[in-house]
Every structure is written in C-alpha cells, then in structure tokens.
Amino acid sequence: MNGNGGGVVDWSKIPEDVLVLILKRLPTICDAFGLAQVCKSWASIVLSPYNISLPKPPFLMLSESNIEEEEEKDVDTSIPRRGFIGINNSKCYKLHLPELHQNRNILSTGNWLAFINMELEISILNLFSKTQIPLPSQYTLPDQWPMEFEEDYTLYHVRNGFIKKIVLSTPPKSQSNNSHIDLDGVVAMVIFGSQRQLAIARPGDKSWVPVQTQIPAVAAVDNVIFFNNRFYSVNCRGKVAFYDIDCNPPQATLVLGDFKDACSVEKYYLVEWLGELLLVAKYCDILDDEPYYDTVKFEVYKLDFDNLAWEEVKSLGQHSLFLGFNTSRSLLASDSTSTFRRNCIYFTDDNSMHYIGVGVEGGHDMGVFDLEDGTITPHYTGKSTSFHSPPLWIIPNSLSHSL
C-alpha cells in the first residue's frame, strides 16, 4: 500500500499507541492473535501484558463442552465455544470455532489444526484466519472396516479410531497480504488402521498413498516427525525409520532396531531438540478400574547418528517438551516471561487406543513430568474429556518461544 507521498508504508513502524487503540477495539482473542501474526514488532506489542490480558503460548485447547454445560453461549448459535487456556493461567478464553464442532482433531502444528468430520473428510484449518485446506478423504485409505464387526460399530467409530495422527512436513504459509496460501513443500503423513501403518498425501491429491515396505519398523507406528527434510517414524518397539517421499510409493529405510526397553514402554515420541533427534519413552500403569491407565514417567534419549545408538539425556537444559496429538515440540523456557518450567515434559492424553477401547473419554491423563525429580504435577486442574477431541497443545508460529 502506498502512502500519501507515494512511498511504501512500513506497517511495522506504526506507533505503539495507535496499535494499542486498534487492539482494544478487536472483538475476539483470535483477532488479536491475527494482528500479532503481521510482524515481530506487532507481536511484541500485542502480547505485552500491559496492553492486553492474553495468556502466553503455548495454549491448551480444551475439548468441546456439551451445550448444557456451556455457561455462556453465543447469542446467534447453539454451538458451544472452544476453551483456550494458558499454562499457569486460570482464565479460560472461549472462541467461536464452528469449523471444529463435533469434529475429531488429530493434529496441531503452528497456527494449523487438522480435523475429520462425520463424512470422513479431512481438512487443515488456520485457527486465526479460518482458512481451510482439504486433504484426501479418509475413505481413500484401505481396510477401514474390520472383517467382522459388531452391529454397533458405526461410522462414528471409524472416524474416531481409524486415524491415529497426522503430521505435516511444514505448515502452509500465508503471503504478506494473506490473499494466497503457499502450499509448496507441504506433505502430510498419516498413521492409520489397526496395524498403525503410514501413508502420505499432498494438498490437492485425490487419495492417500500407503508406504509400501517389508521393514517391520513401518508397522505399529507410534509417532512421526519431519526432521532434517525427512519424515522419521518410531514404532511400538522403538524401531526408527526414515522415508523417501519422492518415490511412488514412498520407500522406507531402517535407521535403528528395537529399543532396549521396548516391552515395558507404553508409547514413543520423536522430537527435535537443539538439532538433535530425541526419542521420548512414556511409561504407564495399566489399571483395573476407570480411568484404566496413568502415565508414571518418561525417559529421554538422543540418537547418535554416527554410531547408531541411543544416548540417555538427563536434562533438557532450558528447554521443555510438549507432547500429545500436536506435532511434538521443544520450546525454550529460559526468559523471565515464560509461563512454563524448564527441563519438563508437558503432555496431554493421546492414548486413543486405551480410552476408546475401554469406552471412557480421553483427557484425564495430562500433566507435567519434571526430569530433575521425576514428579508429575497437573498443568490443568479442571476436567476436559472427549472421545473424539480431548485437549491438545496449540503453539502458534510467531507467538511461540524460540527453539
């Protein structure tokens, strides 16, 4: 945009008092987040506690509340709003997100969240701009219905249990004027089916393409990450593989075999930390009565690529990890304004096979594991549970702490 003198206006240099006046007239917290996306200088002003009472990221997006439980409904709709809460912040910010109503959330990365609706259509949604980008339908994945299934096994069960997680190589990027979304390099990898296999797709594809390989590491996959320009996966035995997604079908290469303690680990995660690839092992107690499972500890290892061996990590230094249905992240907690503690693992309940299998809503198994003393404390003291959309972390791109 040109100014009166014909030159280009540098909006990053708008006076702070003018920006604050604009900020105070915005109707929702989402609008404020959108304003903070413009540039770093705007973000620092918008997120200043002196200007607006916003929680600092990361945010915990709560499960969708029942309409009868909603204390304050939107005037123009009966759709309940989604709650967002900051760590160590008791105030819950409720946002009107009809796009997510009764849909299953299976990914959050940056400003984007992936969901599946009851027609098994998969989309990724920018929570701030409300831009939606379709991915191929769940229907295009194989083996969705078991050979023998009970009469009460419905489309609802297929939607909630078939896909375990989606991970993106990189989030879509908005151009400076927000008129165009750059999808270059955006590839999605999905963990699907009772065998927890892998498939990939790009926005605009008609169907998912399963990974074809005889490598056992590609069966019973627990987690996926995009690291050093490659997708890496870890399965239930701790086997790690990477993928050549330019092949058709994609090809897998084994990196490392069984983890030393594979039989007793409940779930594995892969996380990038200071340029290293971490393996995080989660241990749970399996209980006879509801809630039937409880996380008791984590162990962290980094991969020595030269010797192809795992080295235990006793401390994350000034960083903490955020695990769950979100893309696993390592965030810096060293500055005085951090809302989260250093050297901890903040986790949400992503044990969908457990809570769906036993018929209880997911969301109870959340907390903060301290690597120094081994304790687990809550990061959210309320109750927020759901079969299809338990709480997950939202870590906006330009609002997050440095890696």
Task: Say how far apart CA 352 and CA 283 lie, in whole Å.
Answer: 15
Question: Half-sphere exposure (CA, 13 Å, Cβ side) for 338?
Answer: 16
Q: What is the DSSP letter of 196?
A: T
Using one digit for the tens of pLDDT, what is the confidence trace for 18-74?
888 877 777 656 667 667 666 767 766 765 655 555 566 788 999 987 443 444 444
Helix ranges, 52-166 (H): 155-161
Residue 76's pLDDT is what?
A: 45
How far is residue 26 CA from its own chain's centroid? 27
Question: Half-sphere exposure (CA, 13 Å, Cβ side) for 29?
Answer: 22
Residue 180's pLDDT is what?
A: 75
- pLDDT at 278 > cutoff 90: yes
Burial group, residue 246, by CB count within 10 angstroms (0-12, 13-18, 19+): exposed
Classify 16 as helix, strand or coil: helix
Q: What one-character-per-residue DSSP string does 94-141 give?
A: EE--GGGTTPEEEEEETTEEEEE-TT--EEEEETTT--EEEE--GGGS
Residue 15's pLDDT is what?
A: 84
Residue 4's pLDDT is what?
A: 54
Q: Are strands 319-323 and 344-347 parallel, antiparallel or unpaired?
A: parallel
Q: Higher model confidence: residue 14 or residue 117?
A: 117
Query: Among the listed ranges 30-34, 48-52, 81-85, 225-229, which one has the minimum average pLDDT value?
Result: 48-52
Residue 59's pLDDT is what?
A: 87
Residue 352's pLDDT is what?
A: 79
Q: What are phi and psi of 327, to 5 degrees?
A: -65, 125
Task: Say how far apart CA 251 and CA 245 lie, in whole Å.
Answer: 7
First CA to last CA distance, the chain: 33
- pLDDT at 3 > cutoff 70: no
Query: Among the listed ranges 39-48, 351-360, 376-385, which one has the minimum average pLDDT value?
Result: 39-48
pTM of the prediction?
A: 0.85
Dihedral angle, C-alpha 202, 206, 212, 215, nearest 10 ° = 40
Q: What is the mean pLDDT of residues 372-393?
A: 92
Q: What is the mean pLDDT of residues 165-177?
A: 81
- Preceding amide of 249 cis, omega within 30: yes
Q: What is the mean pLDDT of residues 89-98?
A: 77
Dihedral angle, C-alpha 226, 232, 238, 239, nearest 10 ° = 180
Q: Are strands 329-332 and 319-323 parallel, antiparallel or unpaired?
A: antiparallel
Task: Say how far apart CA 359 and CA 291 lie, in whole Å.
Answer: 10
Question: Which distant-in-sequence residues (6+ apart) come within 8 Å of 268 by Cβ?
Answer: 222, 223, 234, 235, 236, 238, 259, 279, 280, 281, 282
Query: Among the listed ranges 12-16, 164-168, 314-318, 340-344, which one has the minimum average pLDDT value?
Result: 12-16
Task: Say how far apart CA 237 and CA 296 lie, in whole Å.
Answer: 19
- pLDDT at 309 > cutoff 70: yes
Tokens of 64: 């969708």
Residue 334's pLDDT is what?
A: 67
CA angle at residue 218 from 354 to 369, to 5 degrees? 45
Which residue in 210, 207, 205 sits closest to 191, CA to CA? Answer: 210
Rg over CA atoms, the chain:
21
Helix ranges, 68-222 (H): 155-161
Query: Among the listed ranges 17-26, 74-83, 262-271, 360-369, which one has the minimum average pLDDT value?
Result: 74-83
272: which strand partners?
A: 277
Q: What is the mean pLDDT of residues 245-257?
A: 87
Q: Are strands 112-116 and 122-126 parallel, antiparallel or unpaired?
A: antiparallel
309: which strand partners?
A: 304
Q: What are phi and psi of 396, to 5 degrees?
A: -60, 150
Residue 199's pLDDT is what?
A: 95
Residue 357's pLDDT is what?
A: 63
CA-to-CA separations, 134 to 115, 120, 131, 191, in angstroms, rounded: 10, 11, 10, 18
Confidence class for position 179, pLDDT limits 50, 70, 90: low
- Which percentage of the chain shows pLDDT scores above 70? 78
Of these ranges, 119-128, 157-166, 315-324, the one predicted with the greatest mean pLDDT is 315-324
| Greatest C-alpha distance within the chain | 74
Whether the CB-CB separation of 111 and 127 falls below 8 Å is answered with yes
Whether the CB-CB separation of 300 and 282 falls below 8 Å is answered with no
Confidence class for position 358, pLDDT limits 50, 70, 90: low
Residue 175's pLDDT is what?
A: 61
Q: Higher model confidence: residue 233 or residue 96?
A: 233
Residue 361's pLDDT is what?
A: 85
Residue 75's pLDDT is what?
A: 41
Task: Say how far apart CA 120 and CA 115 lie, in whole Å.
Answer: 9
